[in-house]
Amino acid sequence: MTMPAAAPHGFGLLDVLLIYGGLMIWVGTVLFALASHNNFRGRLELQHRDVWIALGRPGFSNWEGTSPWALDGYLIRRRYLELRDPELTRRGNRALISRVVAIVVIVSFAAGATWRWQ
């Protein structure tokens, strides 16, 4: 007795494993990026309160502060290096790198999914 062939546009076991694995990598990467960003924000709030206030008191999400994207711009421009705080620098670098990796993973997953099921 043989297994019936999958439909041309159906999902086989390999497809399901690729989707599941890709989603797990995506979720893990995004969670790490969020945690890194929040660690950076927390250090900035506790140790450099004047800068944190100048940025509009950003919260965990971009919608909690008075200036939604100010912290992202501060991070992307690497202005945190001006404070000469080694711990903030480490957290800022980690937050920036993890965000770039998360974007690359999302784009490559979307591009791979688009290519695979055309």
Kindly state the tokens that stand for 42.
């927390």
pLDDT at 104 over 60: yes
In this prediction, residue 87 carries a pLDDT of: 97
Which band of pLDDT confidence, cut at 50, 70 and 90, is reported for residue 36? very high
Q: Average pLDDT of 6-18?
A: 69
Q: Average pLDDT of 31-40?
A: 93
For the chain, give the mean pLDDT: 83
**Number of Cα atoms under 13 Å in the Cβ half of residue 66:** 6
H or E segment and range at residue 85: none
Q: Average pLDDT of 34-47?
A: 94
Q: What percent of the chain has pLDDT over 70?
A: 79
Sorted by sequence, the CB contacts under 8 Å of residue 35 that are 6+ apart come out as none
Question: pTM for the complete prediction?
Answer: 0.76
pLDDT tens-digit series, residues 46-96: 999 999 999 988 887 655 555 668 888 999 999 999 999 999 999 999 999
Cα 102 from Cα 28, distance rounded (Å): 9
